[in-house]
Amino acid sequence: MNLFNEHLLSLLIWFPVVGGILVLATGGDRRAMTARWLALGVAVITFALSVPLWTGFNRSTADMQFVERSPWIERFHIEYFLGVDGISVPLVLLTTILTIVVVVAGWKVIQTRVAQYFAAFLIMEGLMIGVFCALDGILFYLFWEAMLIPMFLIVGVWGGPNRVYAAIKFFLYTLLGSLLMLVALLYLYQASEGSFDLLAFHHLPLTGGVQTLIFLAFFAAFAVKIPMVPVHTWLPDAHVEAPTGGSVILAAITLKMGAYGFLRIAMPIAPDAAQQFAPLVIGLSLLAVVYIALIALIQQDMKKLIAYSSISHMGFVTLGFFVFETRAMEGAIVQMISHGFVSGALFLCVGVLYDRLHSREIATYGGVMKVMPVFAFFMVFFAMANAGLPGTSGFVGEFLVILGTFSVNAWYAAIAALTLIVGAAYTLWMVKRVVFGEVKNPKVSELKDLDRREFGVLLGMALGVLIIGIWPAPLLDVMRVSVDQLLTHLSVSKL
């Protein structure tokens, strides 16, 4: 058992990667069923492996746990250094859960190059877990970048009509940001006299000017990923063109990698610059929260609407980080998890409709409730969660962020709270036009309600949303000590 715990993180990273390669080896579409079941098996086992991470996690310490550390490239003191704290554990679990969801959701929809599709998701799962566990700068960068390759293929191969443009835009945007991060990491290597240890970077004294540059370089990488205004334009394209599974993973996990990067890297390494740039980041966050929400209001395409809504919700997350307040930061992390479930589920809902009518236009639908009552229930439920209805996970995160922000600056909180109104407006308006009303399109009247597979997937997501919404205490417990420690660290100037 001890050996198992010592290598749990490696197992979580490499098991899905190896599983993905095995799925790939099943070959052509003749053996599609084998590929599907194998992929599901790998995803479920990976999830099962991640459970001990949750149960065996010591909630009373902010130290890294399940640490693995061995030299890798000794010449540059690059290490194979993994570990998790209270901030990364929920994200790892979110990844393993959503991968199962994505595999099941793609079961029937994907009929071409099935093995490659599932393999890409499994390999990506391993790489994303790697991002959340890596404590060595180069290792982190490796996972961060490598993850682009499967995502690029997923959008480009199985995506919509404009997929090529979206895939390349996605790749190049992220690459530019990431390479600047690489330069910053290399600089820190010099400054620390030969180490890529991220935790050691946290305690590295840096002058104000250097911190500013380092912070901006990391900011470029993470802001693109989150994405923040004004570098958000890749997201609507990528989301709209990606297949349902790709959209789910993009929204639910990839965006969180950017936010996680702020917590693990940018803020603790350059705390003074983080304080200095806080007004800017908060300003951009509020801009995202309000302005992007208004843009979401006018979307005709459901996926685009949810994509803009994602940007808006991620604005909440960055707002929560940069007010430097315990409740706000905890709320922001809850919001990350919650948004993973809610936006993922909404993309699944759109996927359900798209599989049937091959249209994402809001105008195509109307009166879906009359023919698909069960589906309508879920769609309304997730829309409510997206709008932050109390009792759902969306409420917990947003409420905590606003509460925390209020104690720092009432104006910020007031502006952020506006989104609860606009957010409710765009989501509910979309639901009204899609789910309710009269059936105008004859094709809609022929729609079939959810099958068992779709029902199961959406039910699982709904349970996730409800559990976090009603009883967020376990989630908050896991992260509390780590968040406190991070805030204490941030409050000490490095100058």
Nearer to another protein, 142 or 371 (CB): 142
Smallest distance from the beta carbon of 288 to another protein, in angstroms? Answer: 25
Which residues are bridge partners to 328 per DSSP? none
Smallest distance from the beta carbon of 144 to another protein, in angstroms? Answer: 8
Nearer to another protein, 146 or 487 (CB): 146
Smallest distance from the beta carbon of 215 to another protein, in angstroms? Answer: 15
Nearer to another protein, 54 or 76 (CB): 76
Nearer to another protein, 148 or 450 (CB): 148
Nearer to another protein, 172 or 495 (CB): 172
Nearer to another protein, 66 or 171 (CB): 171
Smallest distance from the beta carbon of 296 to another protein, in angstroms? Answer: 29
Contact residues for another protein, defined by CB under 8 A: 27-28, 71-76, 78, 113, 116, 138, 141-142, 145-146, 148-149, 152-153, 156-157, 163-164, 167-168, 171-172, 175-176, 179-180, 182-183, 186-187, 189-190
Please count the other Cβ atoms lying within 10 Å of the Cβ belonging to residue 487: 16
Nearer to another protein, 213 or 278 (CB): 213
Smallest distance from the beta carbon of 27 to another protein, in angstroms? Answer: 8
Nearer to another protein, 137 or 472 (CB): 137
Smallest distance from the beta carbon of 225 to another protein, in angstroms? Answer: 15
Nearer to another protein, 2 or 190 (CB): 190
- Asked if 251 contacts 232 with a C-beta cutoff of 8 angstroms, the reply is no
Indicate the Cα dihedral angle 242, 171, 147, 453, nearest 10°. Answer: 0
**Cα 450 versus chain centre, distance:** 26
Characterize 445-480 residue by residue with b for buried, 16 or more Cβ atoms within 10 angstroms of its Cβ, and e for exposed.
eebeebeeebeebbebbbebbbebbeebeebbebbb
Smallest distance from the beta carbon of 175 to another protein, in angstroms? Answer: 5
Counted residue by residue, the chain has a size of 495
Nearer to another protein, 75 or 452 (CB): 75
Nearer to another protein, 101 or 154 (CB): 154
Smallest distance from the beta carbon of 282 to another protein, in angstroms? Answer: 27
Smallest distance from the beta carbon of 82 to another protein, in angstroms? Answer: 14
Smallest distance from the beta carbon of 78 to another protein, in angstroms? Answer: 7
Smallest distance from the beta carbon of 391 to another protein, in angstroms? Answer: 43
